[in-house]
Amino acid sequence: MNLIEINGLYKCYNFKEKPRIYAVHNVSLTVKKGEVLGLVGESGCGKSTLGKMLLKLEQPSQGRIIFKQQDITDYSFKQMRQIRNSMQMVFQGTANAFNPYFTVRQIISEPLNNYSQESEEEKKKKIVAMLERVGLNHTYLTRYSHEMSGGQRQRVGIARALILNPEFIVCDEAVSSIDYALKNQILTLLSELKRQFGLTYLFISHDISAVNKLCDRVVVMYLGNVVEIIPSINDNVCHPYTKALLAATMAPDPQKRGKNRVLLREGEALKIPEKGCVFQNRCLDVQKVCETEQPALVSQNNEHYTACHFCH
């Protein structure tokens, strides 16, 4: 069953100017109930914008968002309130994601205060239980954001997102800025929580290895467009951009990394071409057709989709 479906979603931040620049360009996707959908791509390609639109924290410029069979695209703030507690986000950037004048207790209470009628004592109990779930304890209740490490803040962000028992969580770079051991710990925690609470995640990351551990399917974005959807990153990837992303990050041995690397044409401005394939300026295999015709996202087999004229 599809938990979320988006159709032809666009986001443009400079609507009044020309040329219009799209942070997200004609993206259609489904998120199935219970799956972990990965979203990867380089900085600025529109991952956070897409994640926020799924939760209606950003309003799309065009396109539809369907959550559990309801079209929520034009829902007002008030209408969103009824479903807001079932969709939450772990925000990117732990250092400035929280109000600096709030204690951990206040940070995690905020969603509870908005949505639940429980007494202060009951809320506190709930918060302590959730802190323990993410590997912290009651001593953190009185701490401020600046009194914690990045990894501890990440966990508070996860606890805050989980406290209302949501069905769907967007994790935006939830493990990108933390060290290897803690990263594994948090990934394990996210998997456990998923199993325990039957969650569905959109997991946004530059870090393909993190995505690889957790995700059932992976969506690859380039300059606002989806260029490939893969059942799992170990499957045969086909799009030249996905290959370059993988080659740049997967090999642990730096010498091998150099050898296997599929190079991008570098030094090209990251400008969206007016027509043709969005990746043409940096693709080593670019052909005439790529400059004139935009490749559609088509199915290779089953769950594998690519937008490239030469992936068939």
Ligand X SMILES: Nc1ncnc2c1ncn2[C@@H]1O[C@H](COP(=O)(O)OP(=O)(O)OP(=O)(O)O)[C@@H](O)[C@H]1O
Q: Of 152, 156, 146, nearest to 104 (Cα)? A: 156
Stretch that binds ligand X, among 42-50, 134-142, 181-189, 251-259 (CB under 6 A): 42-50
Query: What string marks each residue from 201 to 220 as x (binds ligand X by CB under 6 A) or -?
Result: -----x--------------
Main-chain dihedrals φ then ψ at residue 186, nearest 5 degrees: -70, -35
Is 25 a binding residue for ligand X by CB under 6 A? The answer is no
User: Which CB atom, from 116 or from 177, has the smaller least distance to Mg ion?
Assistant: 177
Instruction: Tell me how far, at minimum, the Cβ of 49 lies from Mg ion, in Å.
Output: 8
Alpha-carbon distances of 28 from 50, 162, 206, rounded to whole Å: 11, 27, 21
Q: Which does 23 bind (CB under 5 to 8 A by kind): Mg ion, ligand X, none?
A: ligand X
Tokens of 138: 């009651």
User: Which CB atom, from 48 or from 306, has the smaller least distance to Mg ion?
Assistant: 48
Is 76 a binding residue for ligand X by CB under 6 A? The answer is no
Q: Which does 13 bind (CB under 5 to 8 A by kind): Mg ion, ligand X, none?
A: ligand X
Is 45 a binding residue for ligand X by CB under 6 A? The answer is yes
User: Which CB atom, from 92 or from 225, has the smaller least distance to Mg ion?
Assistant: 92
Q: Of 21, 39, 14, nearest to 226 (Cα)? A: 39
Q: What is the DSSP string of 85-124?
A: TTEEEE-S-STTSS-TT-BHHHHHHHHHHHH----HHHHH
Using CB under 6 A, which of 73, 92, 225, 280 touches ligand X?
A: 92
Using CB under 6 A, which of 13, 20, 74, 179 touches ligand X?
A: 13
Tokens of 222: 């380039």
Instruction: Confirm if 218 and 227 have CB atoms less than 8 A apart.
Output: no
Question: CB-based contacts of 19: which residues, under 8 Å, 6+ apart?
Answer: 274
User: Which CB atom, from 124 or from 206, has the smaller least distance to ligand X?
Assistant: 206
Using CB under 6 A, which of 8, 15, 20, 44 touches ligand X?
A: 44
User: Which CB atom, from 123 or from 206, has the smaller least distance to Mg ion?
Assistant: 206
